[in-house]
Amino acid sequence: MKGEIPDRTAQRGGGAIAAAASAVRLRQETHGLTGLAAIMVEERVHPLWLRAGTGDVDRAIGMLDLASCGLKCAHEPRRIIEIGAGAGYRAVALAAEYPGCEILAAEADPLLHRTGLLNTLPYDNITYVSAAVSTGEEQYGYFSRLGPCGEPALLQHPAGPIKSRKLAQLLSFHRFTDADMLVITPDAASARILRAPLPPAIQLVAVETGGEPLSADMAHCYPLAQFVTVISGDYVLLYRRGQQSLPPAPRPLSVLAADGPLRLFHIENVSEGGFFHLPGGGVRLHPNQSGAPLARLTFSTEICGHEELQVSMRISNENAGAVHFTARIFTESGAVLASGGETLSGPLPRGLVLPLREHQGRCEVVFTTEMAEPGASNGGAWAEIISATLV
């Protein structure tokens, strides 16, 4: 098709293979050991320091590839605040992903500070600080444990040895008041930040929730009129909408709704019965085997000042292998307006937000699906594009 961009499946596969090999190495070199260990992996310039025999190994493995855990940014961040930095693995991954960005990483747990400093000191663009961060100055301490692995839990207590710092004070001291991205693993102190007004420069808030939605009281603080909310892997991503000026923002346009404008769909590489509309809107597009021609759905639509395409996707069968979805938008001349992809495993819906280049007029929207792993069975699954909306 005119304007088709290069297929990056091979690049994704190569990165996944390298991350898998590094994960094996991390487990092998720490097996049966205790104490600090420094291990080189292919994805990092400097060694990763781990406390062998603890959850550090799993945490480090999870941060070898940011895309795999769902931590994504639609813009190129200049300054990132990370609260709940742990032993520094996420800060190191962010520094590798965005080498021109400065990162301020804060961690309250004193048991993690030594490892966190060892991991982050080699990186000039990471500042690692020992701090519990909240909206006020209260006393906290690690008085109990949570979860199957007995992770320490931060609790507010008047006798606690840790005094929280206000977010505004922390940013002012380190001259990070213009930070445009906040990454947070909430604890008893930092969860309060998610219920308070954000610094005005923040464009994206990434909250590590394990894939669960935000609690109702937190979600209430991020209204749809101001934020786009997407569950991505282990994170809830909250994109702040841009300030609107005249003319008013265009009305959202569902590009798959059965009761919307009449459109001609073009289907490629799909067997008979491999495509149909969902009753409540959206479509099912049967995924082809990895390496085979992509199952493809193409249609035209009109963009009138819309800023992004929001796509919701899922797999209909929890026993199916992982499916890779892509969404791409082209102008009539073939220029790429937006492109993105997501690999899903399991029926939990996932969201994909594609920021659009400025454009008025006709364009082509292309959705594709394929099994993510070579030889994987679809297990009778359908790849479902539940909704696709221009906003």
Three-class secondary structure assignment of the chain? CCCCCCCCHHHHHHHHHHHHHHHHHHHHHHCCCCEEEEECCCCCCCCEEEEECCCHHHHHHHCCCHHHHCCCCCCCCCEEEEECCCCCHHHHHHHHHCCCCEEEEEECCHHHHHHHHHHHCCCCCEEEEECCEECCCCEEEEEEEECCCCEEEEEECCCCCEECEEHHHHHHHCCCCCCCEEEECCCCCHHHHHHCCCCCCCCEEEEECCCCCCCHHHHCCCCCCCEEEEEECCEEEEEECCCCCCCCCCCCEECCCCCCCCCCCEEECCCCCCEEECCCCCEEECCECCCCCCEEEEEEEEEECCCEEEEEEEECCCCCCCEEEEEEEEECCCCEEEEEEEEECCCCCEEEEEECCCCEEEEEEEEEEEECCCCCCCCCCCEEEEEEEEC
Please check whether residues 167 and 131 belong to one and the same domain: yes
Residue 247 pLDDT exceeds 60: no
Dump pLDDT digits (tens) for 354-370: 998 877 788 999 999 99
Q: In total, how many domains does the chain have?
A: 2
15, part of any domain: no
* pLDDT of 172 above 80: yes
Q: Are residues 75 and 136 in the same domain?
A: yes
The reported pLDDT for the residue numbered 253 is 81
For the stretch 100-135, pLDDT in tens is 899 999 999 999 999 999 999 999 999 999 999 999
Does residue 199 share a domain with residue 334? no
> Does 217 share its domain with 82?
yes
| Structural domain includes residue 257 | yes
Lowest-pLDDT range, 97-106, 144-153, 218-227? 144-153
- pLDDT at res. 71: 92
* Predicted structure pTM score: 0.60
pLDDT (0 to 100) of residue 7: 40
Per-residue pLDDT at 9 exceeds 70: no
State the chain's mean pLDDT as an integer.
Answer: 86
Per-residue pLDDT averaged across 282-302, rounded?
89
- Give yes or no for a contact between 315 and 384, defined as CB atoms under 8 angstroms apart: yes
Q: Is residue 18 part of a domain?
A: no
255 vs 118, residue with greater confidence: 118
Whether residue 306 is predicted with pLDDT greater than 60 in this model: the reply is: yes
> HSE on the CB side for 90, CA within 13 Å?
27
User: For residue 340, what pLDDT is reported?
Assistant: 92
In this prediction, residue 263 carries a pLDDT of: 77
**Band of pLDDT at residue 77, cut at 50, 70 and 90:** very high
Work out the pLDDT band at 5, boundaries 50, 70, 90: very low
Q: Are residues 122 and 218 in the same domain?
A: yes
Domain boundary among 212, 240, 268: 240
Q: Does 59 map to a domain?
A: no
Give residue 379's pLDDT. 64
Which residue range is the domain that position 120 belongs to? 69-240
* pLDDT at residue 4, rounded to an integer: 38
In this structure, is residue 258 part of a structural domain? yes
Of residues 206 and 260, more confidently modeled: 206
Looking up tokens 């090999």, which residue turns up?
21
pLDDT range class, residue 165, cuts 50, 70, 90: very high
Q: What is the CATH number of the domain that holds 106?
A: 3.40.50.150
CATH number at residue 332: 2.60.120.260
Same domain, 230 and 266: no
Q: Are residues 130 and 203 in the same domain?
A: yes
> What is the pLDDT averaged over residues 236-242?
90
> Band of the pLDDT at 182, cuts 50, 70, 90?
very high
pLDDT of 282 reads 86
Predicted pLDDT of residue 13:
46
- Both 128 and 92 in a single domain? yes
Asked whether residue 132 falls in the same domain as residue 194, the answer is yes
Whether 378 has a pLDDT exceeding 70, the answer reads no
The residue among 240, 270, 298 that closes a domain is: 240
User: Considering 240, 269, 298, which residue would you say is the last residue of a domain?
Assistant: 240
Above 60 in pLDDT, residue 6?
no
Peptide bond preceding 99: is omega within 30 degrees of 0, i.e. cis? no
Q: Are residues 188 and 292 in the same domain?
A: no
Predicted pLDDT at 347: 82
193 and 260 in a common domain: no
Decide if 40 is inside a domain.
no
pLDDT tens readout for residues 325-350: 999 999 888 888 899 999 988 788 88
> Is residue 274 included in any domain, yes or no?
yes
Does 160 reside within a domain? yes
- The pLDDT tens digits of the residues spanning 135-150 come to 999 999 988 776 556 6
Do 87 and 225 fall into the same domain? yes
